[in-house]
């Protein structure tokens, strides 16, 4: 199989190339395309973000961090499943606090939740 090379046509004498600005735009566009398409770029950015935020998060008050996490999870639940999902999430939090307040082990809560769930599946 033979390959042939084609010569580029010469530019007319009065026509200029795009210059340094056009070349810079083309290089930046190609680098941005490469930056977005390489899969490891996002992992590297996530690792750099975690490394930079890690020391800051370790100095935060654990109660404040827990409250912020609960609020964010609650917002995601309501966003994903609507107000009914938010109410179910609040009910689940209330049921989860029962063993703590009653002074029993949390594993005993599994049996109290398993019975209504099985009854719901069997009657549906």
Q: Mind listing the pLDDT tens digit for each residue in 11-35? A: 555 555 556 667 888 888 888 888 7
Q: Judge whether 8 lies within some domain.
A: no
Q: Which of 87, 49, 93 is nearest to 70 (CA)?
A: 93
Rounded to two decimals, the pTM is 0.42
Q: Which residues contact residue 96 at a Cβ distance below 8 angstroms, ignoring those fewer than 6 apart?
A: 106, 109
Same domain, 68 and 124: yes
Residues of the domain holding 45: 21-59
Output the pLDDT for position 11.
Answer: 54
Flag whether pLDDT at 115 surpasses 70.
Answer: yes
Question: b/e map of 32-43 (b: 16 or more CB within 10 Å)?
Answer: eeeeeeeeeeee
The last residue of one of the domains, among 10, 30, 59, is 59
Output the pLDDT for position 72.
Answer: 92
Output the pLDDT for position 75.
Answer: 92
Q: Judge whether 16 lies within some domain.
A: no
Query: What does the alpha-carbon distance between residue 74 and residue 87 come to, in Å, rounded to a whole number?
Result: 10
Q: Which of 68, 66, 90 is nearest to 78 (CA)?
A: 90
Output the pLDDT for position 79.
Answer: 93
Q: Which residues contact residue 35 at a Cβ distance below 8 angstroms, ignoring those fewer than 6 apart?
A: 41
Mean pLDDT over 76-99 rounds to 85
Mean pLDDT over 98-119 rounds to 79
């Amino acid at each position: 199989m033979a390959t042939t090379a084609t010569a580029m046509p010469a530019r007319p004498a009065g026509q200029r190339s795009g210059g340094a600005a056009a070349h810079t735009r083309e290089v930046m566009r190609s680098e941005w395309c490469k930056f977005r398409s390489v899969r490891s770029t996002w992992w590297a950015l996530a690792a750099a973000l975690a490394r930079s935020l890690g020391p800051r998060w370790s100095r935060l008050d654990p109660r404040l961090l827990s409250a912020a996490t609960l609020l964010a999870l609650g917002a995601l639940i309501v966003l994903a499943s609507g107000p009914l999902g938010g109410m179910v999430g609040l009910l689940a939090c209330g049921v989860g606090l029962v063993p703590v307040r009653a002074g029993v082990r949390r594993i005993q809560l599994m049996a109290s939740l398993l019975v209504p769930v099985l009854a719901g599946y069997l009657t549906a």
